[in-house]
A = this chain, B = another copy of it.
Amino acid sequence: MTSATDIKQLLQHHGIQPSVQRVAIAEHVLATDRHPSADQVLQEVQRKLPVVSRATVYNTLKLFVEKGLLRQYQIAEGPTVYDANIERHHHLIDEETGRVIDIPWDAVEVKNVEGLEGFEVDSYMVVLRGRRRDGS
C-alpha cells in the first residue's frame, strides 16, 4: 500500500514538486510490476485524472528517471518502457504477449564480466526470450 501522502513524500524526498499530475502518474507507474510505455501510462492516468496531457506524461517520466525513481529500457520491439524496479535484475520477454517480465538477479548467474578483456563494464543484464510455463 502506497497512499497518496506517501507518494507525495517520496516525490518530495527526491526533490520533485508533487503536483496533482505527478502524483497521479507516480501512483500508477511506481506501483506496477508491468513495464508500461509512455502512452500506456497516459491512457491509465487519464482514467483517474482526465486533465493530464501527453507532454506532461513524457516530461514526468523523464523526470522520474533523472531522479532515480524509475528505470527506462528499450529491450523489446516497440516503444521505450518504464520500470519501477530499480534494483538490478534481468528481463524475460514473453514472445507470445510481448510482455517484459522481471527475473531476480540471483535466478541466473553471470560469470567473468569483470574479466572481460578490453572493456570497462558499468552494468549488465541478461535478456531472455521465451514464455511462462503453463502453471505460472
- By a beta-carbon cutoff of 8 Å, the part of chain A in contact with chain B is 74-78, 80, 92, 95, 101, 103, 107-113, 116-133, 136
Contacts and interface: CB of A to CB of B under 8 A. Distances in A.
B119 A124 contact: no
Contacts of A126: 110, 113, 124-127
B103 A107 contact: no
Given A75-B74, A122-B95, A128 B113 contact: yes
A119 B95 contact: no
17 contacts: A74-B78, A92-B121, A95-B122, A101-B119, A103-B119, A108-B112, A108-B113, A109-B111, A110-B111, A118-B133, A119-B131, A119-B136, A120-B131, A123-B130, A124-B126, A126-B127, A127-B127
A98 B77 CA distance: 18
Contacts of A117: 107
A122 B123 CA distance: 24
B110 A110 contact: yes
A103 B116 contact: yes
A126 B76 CA distance: 14
A136 B119 CA distance: 8
A134 to B, nearest CB: 9
